[in-house]
Each structure stands twice: as structure tokens, then as C-alpha cells.
Amino acid sequence: MPNAKGLHYGSEVIKNREIAKILYDIGELLELSGESKFKALAYKKASKSIELLTRDIEVVCNEGRLRNIPGIGIATEKLIIEYIQKGSVEYHKSLICEILPESRELLQISCIGPKMSHLLYENLKISSIEDLLLAAKAHQIQFLLGSEGEAEVIRVIEEYKERSMDDCRVECSIGQELTRLCFLEKYSKEGLHLNLILKLQKFLNSIGYNTTREYPIKFSSMRRRDLKKYSRQGYIDLYAEQILESNLFYMFQKDMQSTLPPKIAIEFDTGIRLKYKSLEKLIQSEAGTCFGIVKGNSQYDYEELIMRNKERFFEVKDRVNLFEKSFYLISIENNIFYDLSSQCYVGKNK
């Protein structure tokens, strides 16, 4: 029913629920950190108001009426605008990394909030989704969640894993085509970087993406000599975003029988492993699917090349914010396609 300011409540809008959950999570994270309980409650109040809102919050934002929603102040308004523009909230990510460094992966499961994530780690040392599923099936988390809560965790994780498999199948299909195009450039004598990026750009354009070469990004980096962090500007070699109205996009998506990744970021390096700054840019980009391409070297053993890239990838991943994306490695001369985020072999063409 409408309130005095003309805003309707009882939301079924997906974006509203996503923003409501982020604000509620911030409230719980602040409670865990020992912050003022009034500040934590303010975020939870704002969360409840958005959860009950029937209008799309993006429409309300575009109308400049966010502050008309009960509980929305200057701080929460900024966070909502940030989410609408970027699809994530930096303050939310930084709180998770600071307060839940060991168990942050559990927050990818929709029915697990920050407080429960904290309790699961403190009581059972559960830090991964796989550990949580095993514990739930062994009825080890019933004392925290009850029998119904435990069953819900199992159901949600199974659904999450199924969606992840579907997403992986689509990403791998794109990745295999990118690998094939990279392999065709294997014997290129000149202009490998530009020629390769142009080929990949043409392919992504052909399946309904809007692509940008030298896409600007501001990212956090760290000097190796003194371990000091600093902010820097850079460019991602190739950045692609869905063109939702594109017929080509829908045709390719139909062929894949699943949803294509909304944003893709690609970096190319000429050595045998990805540079630190390339990893920093990709991991901190807004793209949910990243491809790091190296020229490689046929004299290096396949396993050795994977290990060198894996070590550097996890070194960067562990020190830069929350990581929630798929990350693939492609080596041109070795013709390797490897999933770094899941640490599994995808393909090696002969």
C-alpha cells in the first residue's frame, strides 16, 4: 500500500532485494565489528524499507526520490547509487574482507549472512561452500540453523552449484573459441598483441557484445619492494558488455542454452605468466568473467606454466578485495585453457 509520500511497498523487484540484502549485511558486519548499534540498526532499517518497496529502486533513483524512502540518508543513498551504477558496493566488500577474511566465501550462498558466516567459522572452522555442504549433509550445523535451516542450506548450495555449472559451460564455450583464435596467432611474427586483440574484439562483437579496447580503470596496486599499496590508473586491453537488444546476442545465447556473462575483461601479456598489474586490473574490474592471455613458451612444461601463473594469481587475489568472478588463463604457444579461479583444467588442444 502507498505511504504518505507515494511510494509503494511489498517489493518483488530483484534489484531491490539485492540492495536490501547488501544494506542488511552491512548492518550485521558493523555489529560484528563492534560499531555503534545505532549505526548498524540504521542500515537494517534502510534495508527493510527497500525490501518492502514495490517500485523499481532504479526508477526511484532516476527520479531523485531515494531520500523519500524512510530510513534512507546521505550515506545509504550514495551506496544505492553506487550499486545501481556499478553492480557492487565497495564499502560492503571492504567490510567483508576486514571482518570475515576466513569465511567470506560463504556469503555467496543467499541464506547465509555475515553473522552466520562468522558463527560457522568460529564454531566449526567452515570457510568454503564445499565444507558447508559437507557439514550440512552430516547434520553438523543443525545446532546453529535448526533442521529446516540445515535443509535450506543444502537446497540453496545445490542450486548454486547447478547455476555455476551452467555459467561455466557458457564461459568455457566462449573461452574455447578465444583459445582457438589465440592459437591461430601462434606463428605471427609482428603485431601479435594488436592483431590478437582485434580478432577477439571482432568475435565478441559478432555474438552481441559492445567492446572497448584500452578500457580505462582505476585500481589498487602494491609495490613489491616496500609492500606499499597505492592507487593507479590503467587500461584493460579489451572490455566487453552485453548488448541486450542484439539479435546476435540472443542467437548465441540460445545456442549455449544458458546466460552469457554480462561483462568480460581480457588482458594480454607477452611472457609466460601474467603481470601483477594485469591481474590487479582484471580482478578489480567490474567484469564477472576474466581471461588472462599469455604468449607462453613451448619449452616450458604445461604443469610448470600453470603453476607459475597460479601462484601469482592467488598472491594478488588474496590481497585485493573480495573475489567473486571466473578467471581463465590462456597460453598461446602452449595452447592451454585453464580455470584459475576453480583450479581446474579446461582444455589443451593438440
Measured between alpha carbons, how far is 53 from 25 in angstroms, rounded to an integer? 18
Q: How far is CA 319 from the centre of its chain?
A: 15
Measured between alpha carbons, how far is 163 from 180 in angstroms, rounded to an integer? 26
**How would DSSP label each residue in 181-223?**
HHHHTTT--S-HHHHHHHHHHHHHHHTTEEEEEEEEEEEEEE-
Dihedral angle over CA of 108, 109, 113, 117, nearest 10? -80
Phi, psi of 88 (to 5 degrees): -160, 165
pLDDT per residue of the chain (350 residues) written in tens, 0 to 9: 233 333 433 444 678 888 999 999 999 999 999 888 899 999 999 999 999 998 889 899 999 999 999 999 999 999 999 888 877 788 998 898 889 888 888 888 888 999 999 999 999 999 888 899 999 999 999 999 999 999 999 988 887 776 665 555 656 677 777 878 887 766 555 556 778 888 888 888 877 788 999 999 988 888 777 778 888 899 999 999 887 544 444 444 444 444 678 899 999 998 899 999 999 999 888 888 899 999 888 888 888 898 999 899 988 887 765 556 789 999 988 888 888 887 776 655 44
For residue 252, what is its C-alpha cell? 548465441
> Helix or strand or coil: residue 89?
coil
Contact assessment for residue 239 and residue 268, using Cβ atoms and an 8 Å cutoff: no
- The distance in angstroms from the start CA to the end CA of the chain is 63
Phi, psi of 344 (to 5 degrees): -140, 150
- What is the widest separation between alpha-carbon atoms in the chain? 72
Give the per-residue pLDDT at 252: 47
Contact assessment for residue 294 and residue 329, using Cβ atoms and an 8 Å cutoff: yes
Contact assessment for residue 192 and residue 295, using Cβ atoms and an 8 Å cutoff: yes
Angle between helices 37-52 and 74-86 (to 10 degrees): 50
Give the per-residue pLDDT at 249: 46
Return the closest-CA partner of residue 182 out of 225, 238, 232, 103. 238
Range list of H helices, 34-69: 37-52, 57-62
Sheet holding 326-331, edge to edge: 209-222, 229-242, 263-269, 289-294, 326-331, 336-339, 344-348
Sign of CA dihedral 81, 86, 90, 96: positive
Report all structural domains of the chain as residue ranges with CATH numbers, in order of start.
1-99 (1.10.150.110), 185-348 (no CATH)
Return the closest-CA partner of residue 47 out of 91, 74, 82, 80. 80
Contact assessment for residue 11 and residue 17, using Cβ atoms and an 8 Å cutoff: yes
Return the closest-CA partner of residue 294 out of 280, 275, 316. 275
β-pair type (326-331, 336-339): antiparallel
- Stated as kind and residue range, the H or E segment containing 179 is helix 142-184
